[in-house]
Amino acid sequence: MDKLEGLVAEIAAEMAAQTERGKVASYIPQLGKVDPKQFGIAVTLADGRIVCGGDADTRFSIQSISKVFTLTLALGKIGDALWRRVGREPSGNPFNSIVQLEYERGKPRNPFINAGALALADVILSGHRPREALGDILHFIRHVADDDSIAIDQGVARSEQETGFRNAALANYMRACDMLESPVDFVLGVYFHHCAIAMSCRQLAMAGRYLAFSGRQDGRTVLSPERARRINALMLMCGHYDGSGEFAFRVGIPGKSGVGGGILGVVPGRASVCVWSPGIDEQGNSRLGRLALERLTQGMGWSVFGPQG
Amino acid sequence: MDKLEGLVAEIAAEMAAQTERGKVASYIPQLGKVDPKQFGIAVTLADGRIVCGGDADTRFSIQSISKVFTLTLALGKIGDALWRRVGREPSGNPFNSIVQLEYERGKPRNPFINAGALALADVILSGHRPREALGDILHFIRHVADDDSIAIDQGVARSEQETGFRNAALANYMRACDMLESPVDFVLGVYFHHCAIAMSCRQLAMAGRYLAFSGRQDGRTVLSPERARRINALMLMCGHYDGSGEFAFRVGIPGKSGVGGGILGVVPGRASVCVWSPGIDEQGNSRLGRLALERLTQGMGWSVFGPQG
Amino acid sequence: MDKLEGLVAEIAAEMAAQTERGKVASYIPQLGKVDPKQFGIAVTLADGRIVCGGDADTRFSIQSISKVFTLTLALGKIGDALWRRVGREPSGNPFNSIVQLEYERGKPRNPFINAGALALADVILSGHRPREALGDILHFIRHVADDDSIAIDQGVARSEQETGFRNAALANYMRACDMLESPVDFVLGVYFHHCAIAMSCRQLAMAGRYLAFSGRQDGRTVLSPERARRINALMLMCGHYDGSGEFAFRVGIPGKSGVGGGILGVVPGRASVCVWSPGIDEQGNSRLGRLALERLTQGMGWSVFGPQG
Amino acid sequence: MDKLEGLVAEIAAEMAAQTERGKVASYIPQLGKVDPKQFGIAVTLADGRIVCGGDADTRFSIQSISKVFTLTLALGKIGDALWRRVGREPSGNPFNSIVQLEYERGKPRNPFINAGALALADVILSGHRPREALGDILHFIRHVADDDSIAIDQGVARSEQETGFRNAALANYMRACDMLESPVDFVLGVYFHHCAIAMSCRQLAMAGRYLAFSGRQDGRTVLSPERARRINALMLMCGHYDGSGEFAFRVGIPGKSGVGGGILGVVPGRASVCVWSPGIDEQGNSRLGRLALERLTQGMGWSVFGPQG
């Protein structure tokens, strides 16, 4: 057992013993039913190895982690024209804040706040039907994860659609500012469904390889090294909502969290990591997930901000 | 001539030829007098070498770059208790915004916005006189730069004191919220004077080595590797005000800018860099400075977000 | 011809000669088609007389003036419990601002901003269908105006429904804050339709009598004198969005404007007045309408803030 | 004993029996020492009579009521040019909010929020020394109150100066926006001292006569009827900070409150009233003061929004 294997096993054991786990997100009723005691971790390496621990094969709702993939797709579709639709600065406000949107006249500050992800969905739609846009998204994720079994959890999607008034407010507001092209319902439909994709830690760690390894995966180019670096930069700056500074400070790698309790982390040049534990903190980020990643990056000396010393 | 030397020479030549240089900051009258056509660059490496180009030995007003050093000092003085006085999240608002301060009841969001730096000055004062606090700051900077000739430009300090109403508003507001302990005038005095320190690119690149090399410099420990990583994380997240996302996206390394036109950049484990050109953009960051750093990190593959590909 | 008749004729003539008329509201396409050169005025007095001038019998879209009537109805329905759903303070922000709503967690600051009127529509719905709620509203307005020919302009209603994304954002946001009970679509449907009611100056001046005459009209009690005073107070404080201070300062009586160019004014104990001219200013209030009312209240000594001198 | 005398006696008795009195303002240490059990009322009539009750002759700190007099003076000094320095809209935010000031780039929304009153003080200074400006203010108040014994409470003024960091923040911010001409310290000095003027209910009711009686007092003209009406309009719209809507709704007359617990009320054409009780509510307005005025205007049918019915 090498150092990484030992550390992953140690982290999985530690997290199983934790009692302070945060609260399971309940604003989407379906999410509230998940057992909070679960924890999973998966690490893929440059040499193709994958090291797992805990509930690494249990599927969970990836929620906002999906925004990393829709960002990749939207950039592939319209390139730098995307930045006329959405900004690149951290938001300094909670993730569903409509205030900031008003000050910026409907242009979301970055692709990872909800309003930004609605803009991405609109770009991916570009005149097509929601079904087609979702097909593109699922196809991309299955491709980078190398796993055709990945699918949308329709129960979660429905649950989000029935209770997603805040997102409906954002989408209508953006439409009022002429910042959405497709019908509001189409955009919301695509958004609610891609957030409801279910994946395991193993699948997400596989899917994140192109970000860790200069845009390449299984010997093929998914996107350019420069674009991979830029997505990583956005993940570090904005990937944890109003807890992004905290995550950079403690964990020190690009990461994107979802309220389902998952976090996808990228160690440039070295590893793609996914952790999952359903309890989240006040900023909407997995409590044990962040703790586990902090242990991992410290243990491996993987922080982008300097070696272990 | 090795690759770095060639690249630095190339960048210096390119920047000398640039015509779009931004505007020299004029809100402090003294700063407005600087010749906008200047450009300097200096890179220190782990092996002790230093590579310079352009006006690398011209001294300029370091302005907000000084906050990196006062943060190091304040952390040394009270450790993690500092985070009760100032937050760690990007601000999402222009650098002297008083709005955010009101929402947060006088607690600045991070140490690099002006309000945050006032909190640092207050921590360094801790009951002493401004003269003593400034003595500590100067002593620290001279020590890490290994250069006793570094000094405050008293003309600039006076100019700031006479026109610094916005900072006086911030300090009074924080005092009203019981977030400052020393008299408002003491805090402002320390702040205006440490911003008015004059240094060259070479001196700043030397002074930044402890951040690049795990807290060590000339064989001595300045601070722990963990603390160095954390300061680097804060620089990346918040070092360029409302242009921090843009800087991370384009340049991809921790950096701290000053309205005098300097930027101190940190390439963890590899280099400490300083660039300088007086013209700044709308976010208050050196226009050519950022361009030069973008060329440098791309050319050397120094982005923390992934290798060149 | 008495003083009032002379003054009304004079004002009508003056307004016909005006060249600076503001712009016709265009965000609702149907409204944009109205001829901007029109002007009407009607004044009802305590003795039952009605004095008219200009296009006093042309029907126009009453838009937000309808909120005065839905406020009266909602108060009649649930009394002071209404103030748990909506505040009584001027908003200090443009009329469709979603920012304020977020700070107040979905409770609109007053009944006359759009969010407040959505709350009124929800109260009037109280479990019924939109058709029934609209029936109640129309019935009330016909009753106080003593005119059964008053009706909804279905073309305007449809036009609003197709373009009312900002109001849809507000309604969804309030629903997300649990501040609406009926389905979002019901609330929006009622709101868009009551704003689309078409009335003439004469009809509106008749309909406003209960506010001017202590809640009484044609010898019958519509509401208590205290409630009439309180609605008048709200009209003065909040009836012209972010131009309410200006209207109080210049005109000096309670009034409620609509983007269709109408203003309903109340001179307590003396008169109910309606003016109309389609061109509006930046705050969304009729430009000539305010001017005409200013001339009227100055000429008659009708300001509530003191006699003519 | 006529109706008014009876009502005033009744109100004074009722208020003496009240137990819920609010809290005495404590942010200015000197104010915190006042006995909360006091209550005074004074009413001056058009015929020159004055009807008093309770502690009508006890002097208290008039605080923000002084802004009514500085507004009158500033208007006398520069006329409508004043409105380039300060707006006329209600603020929709707490009375010392710096947020709104930032959005409006240093132009206060109205003359009665603290920032607005600082602008008034600056207009009255207009190049002179604080001592002269304060002389003008005192002279005017003594003149309209017909009482040369009125003076500044130097203890309160000192106490405000030592603790007025929030006002210092406002003044510095306005200076940074070029919205103040005199030195910040001069403006603050004038402001703190005019707020510290001590007067009794009787003196204030006398001083308010020019507002109630079309700008005239003791047979002399203090200002034009139009200007009196406009000041009354501003008092109604903005005189009670974020409780102005509530005051209009319940009391129904123009009024200006001070954190010392006084309220100056104007019944146009009929009476000038002053009530005082030191306990204030969350909006900074006298709790019993408002209650007493509500009783008075209801009992006398004095609401500007309609007769008693």
pLDDT at D64 over 70: yes
Active site amino acids of C:
64, 67, 191, 241, 259
Among C99, C102, C172, beta carbon nearest to A172: C172
Please name the amino acid found at residue B210.
Y
CB pair distance less than 8 Å for A268 and B88: no
Q: Do residues A229 and A275 share a domain? A: yes
Q: With respect to residue C306, please indicate whether it lies within any of the assigned structural domains.
A: no
pLDDT of residue B95: 56
Contact across the interface for A224 and B309, Cβ inside 8 Å: yes
Chains in touch with A (≥3 Cβ pairs < 8 A): B, C
Q: Which residue has the higher pLDDT, D207 or B104?
A: D207
Residue B256: list chain A partners with CB under 8 A: none
Is C55 in the same domain as C204?
Answer: yes
Do B107 and B59 lie in one domain? The reply is: no
Show which residues of B are catalytic: 64, 67, 191, 241, 259
Q: Which of A91, A212, A306 sits opposite B228 (nearest CB)?
A: A306
Of D224, D233, D246, the CB nearest to C88: D246
HSE-up of residue C121 (Cα within 13 Å, Cβ side):
32
pLDDT at residue C95 in the model: 55
**Same domain, yes or no: C102 and C161:** yes
Q: Which of A67, A214, A267, A286 is catalytic?
A: A67
| B242: DSSP letter | G
Q: Is there a domain that residue B305 lies in?
A: no
pTM: 0.93
Residues of B within 8 A of A270 (CB-CB) are none
* Residue D308 banded pLDDT, cuts 50, 70, 90: confident
Annotated binding-site residue numbers of D for substrate: 64, 114, 160, 167, 191, 241, 259
Report which residue type is found at B60. Answer: F
In a domain, D308, yes or no: no
ipTM, two decimals, is 0.95
List per-residue pLDDT tens for chain C, 309 residues long.
799 999 999 999 999 999 888 899 887 788 888 999 999 999 999 999 999 999 999 999 999 999 999 999 999 999 999 999 999 999 866 656 776 777 678 899 999 999 999 999 999 999 999 999 999 999 999 999 999 999 999 999 999 988 899 999 999 999 999 999 999 999 999 999 999 999 999 999 999 999 999 999 888 999 999 999 999 999 999 999 889 999 999 999 999 999 999 999 999 999 999 999 999 998 899 999 999 999 999 999 999 999 876
Residues of A in contact with B88 (CB under 8 A): 245-246, 249
Mean pLDDT for D89-109 is: 76
- Chain C: touching chains (3 or more CB pairs < 8 Å): A, D
Whether residue C309 lies inside any domain: the answer is no
**D56 and D69 assigned to the same domain:** no
For residue D283, pLDDT over 80 is answered with yes
Divide the 309 residues of chain A into consecutive groups of 10 and give the mean pLDDT of each group.
94 94 84 92 97 98 98 97 95 68 83 95 97 98 98 95 92 94 97 98 98 93 96 97 93 97 97 97 94 97 89
Binding residue positions of A for substrate: 64, 114, 160, 167, 191, 241, 259
Average pLDDT along chain B: 94
Write down which residue in C148, C182, C197 finishes a domain: C197
Sign of dihedral through CA atoms B183, B185, B189, B195? positive
Looking at beta carbons, which residues of chain D come within 8 Å of B176?
165-166, 168-169
- Name C271's bridge partners: C45, C267
Query: What beta strand segments (E) does C14-146 contain?
Result: 23-24, 40-45, 50-54, 60-61
* Active site residue ranges of D: 64, 67, 191, 241, 259
Annotated binding site of B for substrate: 64, 114, 160, 167, 191, 241, 259
The answer on C237 and C145 residing in a single domain is: no
| Residue A67 is a catalytic residue | yes
pLDDT, average across residues B12-36: 89
Tokens of B236: 């990346």
For the question of residue A191 being annotated catalytic, the response is: yes
Residues D238-267 have a mean pLDDT of 96
Nearest to D176 among B165, B175, B184 (CB): B165
For residue C167, say whether it is annotated as part of any ligand binding site: yes
- Are B244 and A238 inside 8 Å of each other by CB? no
pLDDT above 70 for D125: yes
Domain count, chain A: 2
Q: Are A155 and A243 in a shared domain?
A: no
Alpha carbon of C29: minimum distance to chain D alpha carbons (Å)? 30
CATH of residue D264: 3.40.710.10
Neighbours of D136 (CB within 10 A): 18
Task: Find chain A residues with C-beta within 8 A of C165's C-beta.
Answer: 172-173, 175-176, 184
Q: Is residue C97 part of a domain?
A: yes
pLDDT at B179: 95
Q: What are phi and psi of A80, to 5 degrees?
A: -65, -10
* Chain D residue with Cα closest to C221: D309
Q: Which of C285, C235, C43, C49 is nearest to D305 (CA)?
A: C235
Assess if residue B252 is contained within a domain.
yes
A241 given a catalytic annotation? yes
Helix (H), strand (E), coil (C) string for A96-150: CCCHHHHHCCCCCCCCCCHHHHHHHHHHHHCCCCHHHHHHHHHHHHHHHHCCCCC
Beta strands in D23-93 (DSSP E): 23-24, 40-45, 50-54, 60-61
Q: Are residues C246 and C262 in the same domain?
A: yes
Q: Please give the pLDDT value at position C273.
A: 98
Please indicate, yes or no, if residue B308 is contained in any of the structural domains.
no
Confidence (pLDDT) at D121: 98
Residue at A86: amino acid letter: V
Last residue of a domain, one of B139, B164, B195: B195
CA C39 to chain CA mean position, Å: 17
Tell whether B163 and B206 lie within a shared domain: no
CA distance D38 to chain B (A): 30
Find the helix packing angle between D114-125 and D165-176, rounded to 10°. 60
Sign of CA dihedral C2, C8, C14, C17: negative
Task: Please tell me whether residues A191 and A68 are part of one structural domain.
Answer: yes
- Please tell me the distance in Å from C296's CA to the nearest CA on chain D: 14
Chain C residues with at least one Cβ partner in A under 8 Å? 97-99, 102-103, 165-166, 168-170, 172-173, 175-176, 184
Of D97, D173, D184, the CB nearest to B166: D173
Pair (B122, B32) in one structural domain: no
Q: Note down the domain range covering B266.
A: 3-63+198-300
Rounded to a whole number, what is the distance in Å from the CA of C229 to chain D's nearest CA?
Answer: 5
Per-residue pLDDT tens over the stretch D140-157: 999 999 999 999 999 999
Let me know whether D68 and D190 are in one domain. Answer: yes
Buried b (16+ CB within 10 A) or exposed e, C116-139: bbbbbbbbbbeeeebeebbebbbe
* Nearest CB partner across the interface for B233, out of A248, A269, A307: A248
Check pLDDT > 60 for residue B51: yes
Q: Is residue D129 part of a domain?
A: yes
Q: Which residues of A touch B238 (CB under 8 A)?
A: 245
Mutate which of A97, A102, A185, A187 to disrupt the C interface (most C C-beta within 10 Å)?
Answer: A102
Instruction: Among D194, D211, D245, give the residue marking a domain's end.
Output: D194
